Copies of this chain bind each other. A is one copy, B any other.
Amino acid sequence: MTRQERALRTRRMILEAAAEMFNELGYDATTISGLIDRIQLTRGGLYFHFTSKEELARGVLEEAISLDGFVPQAFKLQEWADLALLLAHRLPREPVLSAGIRLSVDIKAREMFGTRWPDWTEMGNEILTEAKDRGELLPHVDPCETARLFVGAWTGVHLLTEVLPDGDLSKEVSGLLALVLPNVACAGVLAKLDTSPYRAERLLVAAGVPQPS
């Protein structure tokens, strides 16, 4: 492993530990000292990568938009569904992704760092706009409004699923797509979409993304 590879791994390890702490304790209660205890790194080793809690939060939010497993599909609406399903599959397994949402719903952190919701909304809007141009959408659908409402709906379904006994985010998001898509997709396209809760795992394996056991 080169020095650069080692540095990248350390950076990633720090970011994941910080994300776990944001998730467990919230932004306010997370401290640099607590992080150092957890990762058994010297203060100097940490400061080489991140010099403050603010920088760690920014690092988490920078990585909160991630397209692992996403590949172009015949229908743009399948791509829209895939984004939702991939994130639902990965979020409970990747603390950096869940910490991104945790920071977005925390008043203090949100004021300091903003949220990534506008980026997700814009990405959905672009996909739905192209879906509209290709004739995949029902005529009444407004891509921008639909993209925005869906990012909100996805986020809230995630928050509720956290408190459900045995809550399974992939299953809930699959249900959300089944609730919304029949009023978005034209019938022929709808019949060809795969919104199964297992789809994301298949996409990730096909893309060669290592799966945690």
Binding site for B on A (CB under 8 A): 23-26, 28-29, 102, 104-108, 110, 114-115, 117-118, 121, 145-146, 148-149, 151-161, 163-164, 172, 175-176, 179-180, 182-184
Contact = CB atoms under 8 A, between A and B. Distances in A.
A108 B29 contact: yes
A172 to B, nearest CB: 7
Contacts of A183: 179-180, 182-183
Contact of A148 (B145, B153, B154, B160): B160
Query: How many copies of the shown chain assemble into the complex?
Result: 2
A149 B145 contact: no
B156 A159 contact: yes
Contact of A26 (B106, B121, B160, B172): B106
A184 to B, nearest CB: 8
Closest CB pairs A-B (n = 4): A156-B156, A153-B153, A152-B157, A155-B156
Contacts of A184: 179
Contact of A156 (B108, B114, B153, B175): B153
Given A26-B107, A105-B105, A183-B182, A157 B160 contact: no
A26 B108 contact: yes
Contacts of A176: 149, 152-153
